[in-house]
Structures are given as C-alpha cells and as structure tokens.
A and B are shown apart, each in its own frame.
Chain A
Amino acid sequence: MIDEMHMARGLPEDDGLDGDGGLDDSVQMPRILQDLADGRLQASEVDTVVDWLQAAEDPAPPPWVVNRAVRIGRQGENGQQARTAIWRRLVAALVYDTRLRPRAAGARAIAGDELRLMYQAGGIEIDLEVTDSGIAGRLRMLGQVSAEPPDLTRAWAAIEGPAGRVEGEIDELGQFALEGLVTGRHRMEIGLTYELIEIPEVQI
C-alpha cells in the first residue's frame, strides 16, 4: 500500500539498500528518517516530516556548498550529461607566495611587483597571478592549472570573497581569468573532470 503511494507520487523507489525496511544495527539516524529512506511512510506522513524539517530552523548550508550544487545544472546544459562521476575532493596547499620571499632592493624592487601564488593538490599545481584590473580598485587573477586535457573538460574556477562570487571557465590549456576582485580573503574552487580542488583561503 505504501509502496503504491510512493509509485503514484513518483517518489524514488528504494535502491536495494535494506529494501525490506529491515534495519541495520550499525546505522544510527533518526527512526523517522530511516523510515523515510526505506519507503515506510505514507504520503501524508512524508509531508509531515518535510514540514518538521522545514520548520526546524537548522543551520543553512554554506553558500559555497549551495553554489556547487547550482553548478550541476550548468554542467548539464545543452543536453550534456551532468558530471556524475564521484569527484575526488582535494584541498590544495600553498607552496609559494611572492610576499614571503625576501624583498628585492633597488631597481628590482620596482619591477615584478605582482602577487604570485602557487598551490598544490594531488600532483596538480595551480599557479595564480594577481594584477591590477582595468577598473580602479579592482584586481584580476590569472590562473593556470597543470592538469591534462581529459581532466580539463568543462573545467571551471570560482572564487568567493569580498566582491562576491566570480566564476570563469578553464580553457584546454588550463588557463583562466577572474576579473573584478578586491583585496581580501577569498575561497577558491577548481572544478576539473575528476577532481574538485578547494583552496580554503587565498589572501590577495
């Protein structure tokens, strides 16, 4: 009876996990959510659970988490399949920062004053260069990702900071440009075909 209700409403059918509604003692989650997962609730009960969850006022997901989900729709546009492979999520580490090297004296101090940063994650290098933008007070970030072409299909770079979120496509050479940034603390994501690289903090 309950299964029929689920079918009629198009609710997802059980995917073979504990399909008989039996329990695995190793799984601890609220009983009602386990019943929801197992398709043991009637349609009206599902609605009540949704009302309860929506009224719970639990913490909202971080914006970057939501934006990542929004991006699924962009990957799937123009009839393309959204990326369904499980991403390998990597957190990049800073390995080079021009601000940390000894300051040059004399004429050398004038030239080459742009900020350069390099991050590494899982054998992939992300080279960033920050320069003045054409707009006063704004910055431009040029980047290069050392990934191979198969990993660069529909690749993208996104940065979130004081100026909001800026996204750009990564070309087949691994290059990208992000415009209109301002000084401050940022968070970056590089979305490749098989990896999602996070740079939790980029100070520019």
Chain B
Amino acid sequence: MSYMGSSSRPFGRQRRDLVAGCLLGDQNAWETLVRTHAGLVYTVIRRCGFGGDEAADLFQDVWLAAWEGLATIRDEGALAGWLATVAARRAKRQLLQRAHEPTSPDAEIPERLDPDPSPEDVVVKREGGVAVRAAVAALSERDRQIVHYFFYDATTPSYTEIAARLGVSPDTIGSLRTRCLRRLRQALEDAAPPDADVDTRP
C-alpha cells in the first residue's frame, strides 16, 4: 500500500491513514512516516546545536519515542508539530545532560549557531531557505527583531531579556510573540513557491 501522493508531504486523509497504518504495524506506513518527516526532525536537532554522530543518535532516539507514543496522538493533523515537539524535548534533555557532565578535552565539539549574533537583518542572509528568507525580509523591522531573538539568537535570551531589548514589559512578550508568529506564518505562505504543497492541516 502506498501512502505517498504526488508530493512528498502527506496530508488530510493520507496522514490519518498513515498513523492508523503505523498503529496496525504496517511497515510501509511507518517508513513513509519516517521519510516524510525525517527532515523536520533532523532540522530541530541541528538547530539545537547537534551534529555528526550525536545528531544521528538523537534522531534515532526521537523516532523510538515516536514509535512508542504514536498511539497517544489524538489530533492526527498535529502530527508534524507532535514530532517537532518530541525532537525539541529530546534535544533539550540531551543538552541538560551534557551541561551537567564533566567535559573531556577529547569531547566532540558540537556544531553551534554563531554565538555572536549579528544584527537582525543578517538573519535573513544566514537562513538557507529561500522562502524563509523572503518571509523574514517581508516582516517589519520590529518583527524581524522578535524572530531573531526567538529563532536565531544562540544565547537563548530569557523573556525578560527579550523584553528589555525590545523596550517593553515582560508581560507583553507572549502576545508579541503570538502576533509575530501569525504574521510570520502569513509571510511564509506568501513566500512559498506557487507549486508548493498546500497543507490541509485542520
């Protein structure tokens, strides 16, 4: 049974069939699920600063967790978000473990984002995705700042720090982020090439 349509991104009915197939032990469904979302999971891992063998092991760990937790998905339309969340959690746990382990001089140095963040407009140049570059470029300067602090600043600024840099109250950061993400999503949709997949996520 094939779960792949003309595109590499299953959606709607296909996605529901995919999860159901996995739960029934269908290997083809599982393989399609992995191959379809492998890039997403790997991107989360790499953007958390992992590379090489460490990224490969973490990738495996995420999919083991996905295999075990697939039955808990209640909204199958949220599959991609669920996988990204699992990946972010595993990456964070690994980072916490690493932070509490004594460092060895021979330890592999992980790939890290630039620790010295550039001005907000450099975000656009650093980003590899054409659509992302176009989307961020289309945002206001204020939104580009917010995107920079949330998506690219390797120092992981706290909400208080972000608020201080933006000159606003920390209480407003949540709503600022929500509005910015809404505009970013619209900009991503506008920047997507015309033949790009249309996600029918409910």
Among A44, A57, A77, A84, chain B packs the most CB atoms within 10 A around the CB of A57
Q: CA A58 – CA B130 in complex, angstroms?
A: 11
Whether a CB of chain B sits under 8 angstroms from the CB of A43 is yes
> What 1/0 mask marks residues of chain A from 153 to 188 whose CB sits below 8 Å from any chain B CB?
000000000000000000000000000000000000
Whether a CB of chain B sits under 8 angstroms from the CB of A104 is no
> What 1/0 mask marks residues of chain A from 15 to 38 whose CB sits below 8 Å from any chain B CB?
101100001101111111111110
Chain B, residue nearest A65 (CB): B56
What residues of A have a CB within 8 angstroms of the CB of B177 in the complex? Answer: 45
What are 11 A-B residue pairs whose CB atoms fall within 8 Å in the complex?
A14-B89, A17-B92, A24-B96, A37-B89, A47-B78, A50-B40, A56-B47, A60-B38, A66-B34, A72-B30, A89-B57
Q: Which of A42, A70, A86 contacts B34 (CB 8 A)?
A: A70
- In the complex, how many residues of chain A place their beta carbon closer than 8 angstroms to a beta carbon of chain B? 63
> What 1/0 mask marks residues of chain A from 52 to 87 whose CB sits below 8 Å from any chain B CB?
111111111110011011101110111100111011
Q: B25 to A53, Cβ gap below 8 A?
A: no
Q: B67 to A72, Cβ gap below 8 A?
A: yes
Given A43-B78, A57-B130, A52:B84 Cβ within 8 A: no
What residues of B have a CB within 8 angstroms of the CB of A61 in the complex? Answer: 38-39, 41-42, 55-56, 59
Interface residues of A (CB under 8 A from B): 8-12, 14-15, 17-18, 23-24, 26-37, 39, 42-62, 65-66, 68-70, 72-74, 76-79, 82-84, 86-87, 89
Q: A56 to B84, Cβ gap below 8 A?
A: no
Q: CA A60 – CA B128 in complex, angstroms?
A: 12
What residues of B have a CB within 8 angstroms of the CB of A73 in the complex? Answer: 22, 27, 30-31, 34, 67
> What 1/0 mask marks residues of chain B from 65 to 78 whose CB sits below 8 Å from any chain A CB?
00111001111011
Q: CA A128 – CA B46 in complex, angstroms?
A: 35
Q: CA A65 – CA B52 in complex, angstroms?
A: 10
What residues of B have a CB within 8 angstroms of the CB of A39 in the complex? Answer: 85
What residues of B have a CB within 8 angstroms of the CB of A30 in the complex? Answer: 47-48, 113, 150-154, 156
What residues of A have a CB within 8 angstroms of the CB of B132 in the complex? Answer: 52, 55-57
What residues of A have a CB within 8 angstroms of the CB of B75 in the complex? Answer: 8-10
16 further interface pairs, Cβ-Cβ under 8 Å (given A10-B74, A29-B88, A32-B150)? A8-B74, A10-B73, A10-B75, A17-B93, A27-B95, A34-B156, A54-B40, A55-B192, A57-B129, A68-B56, A72-B34, A72-B60, A73-B27, A74-B27, A82-B68, A86-B61
Chain B min CB distance to A32 (Å): 4
Q: CA A106 – CA B59 in complex, angstroms?
A: 53
Q: A55 to B151, Cβ gap below 8 A?
A: no
Q: B39 to A47, Cβ gap below 8 A?
A: no
What residues of A have a CB within 8 angstroms of the CB of B176 in the complex? Answer: none
Q: Which of B35, B135, B185 contacts A70 (CB 8 A)?
A: B35
Q: CA A204 – CA B20 in complex, angstroms?
A: 42
Whether a CB of chain A sits under 8 angstroms from the CB of B188 is yes
Q: B91 to A37, Cβ gap below 8 A?
A: yes
Q: Which of A18, A48, A58, A78 contacts B46 (CB 8 A)?
A: A58
Given A37-B91, A76-B25, A82-B68, A11:B81 Cβ within 8 A: yes
Chain A min CB distance to B199 (Å): 8
Q: A72 to B128, Cβ gap below 8 A?
A: no
Q: A53 to B53, Cβ gap below 8 A?
A: no
Q: CA A54 – CA B131 in complex, angstroms?
A: 10
Q: B181 to A45, Cβ gap below 8 A?
A: yes
Q: CA A46 – CA B96 in complex, angstroms?
A: 23
